[in-house]
A = this chain, B = another copy of it.
């Protein structure tokens, strides 16, 4: 699923600017689900407008820069649904934290432990954001509750595991040396 398709999806919930779409990735229900940079979002919206899948409207603001608000066209809505029905790809994770843990024997124990603290803090932040999204009266649809609940379950389980097992990081590997020579 490319960025253009994701933008179409977000716009099914109502019109938005590029900046607001980026905020949705960081704060709301989509935190931990998808992410994209400004460098992808703005060109994506421009191309979608060229293809007639969204329409742009310039909105003048007082006390803030003007913004370009995009709204879905019927063709855009149809395109999004078609791409969803066509199938989905497996989830992709890129966890620098897990990488750091796998290679924890190569770094000072204090560094590894600080990475755990850092990751716990990020996880708590993400949980808090999901709680806010869960309370939001605009998120009462069962499928939204499901997606939020799934994110919560995974984060919670990861947090509990880290708290219970963080003592494993920093332990030297006691290799039994089966042959006994050494």
Contact = CB atoms under 8 A, between A and B. Distances in A.
Interface stretch (A14-22, A42-50, A58-66, A82-90): A82-90
A118 B88 CA distance: 10
A180 B168 CA distance: 57
Contact of A158 (B94, B112, B154): B154
Given A35-B92, A94-B92, A158 B165 contact: no
Nearest to A144: B102
Nearest to A160: B153
A168 B94 CA distance: 29
A69 interface: no
A40 interface: no
A52 interface: no
Nearest to A157: B157
Contacts of A88: 96-97, 99-100, 115, 118
A6 interface: yes
A146 B169 contact: yes
Contact of A102 (B33, B93, B99): B33
Interface in A71-115: 80-81, 84-85, 88-108, 111-112, 115
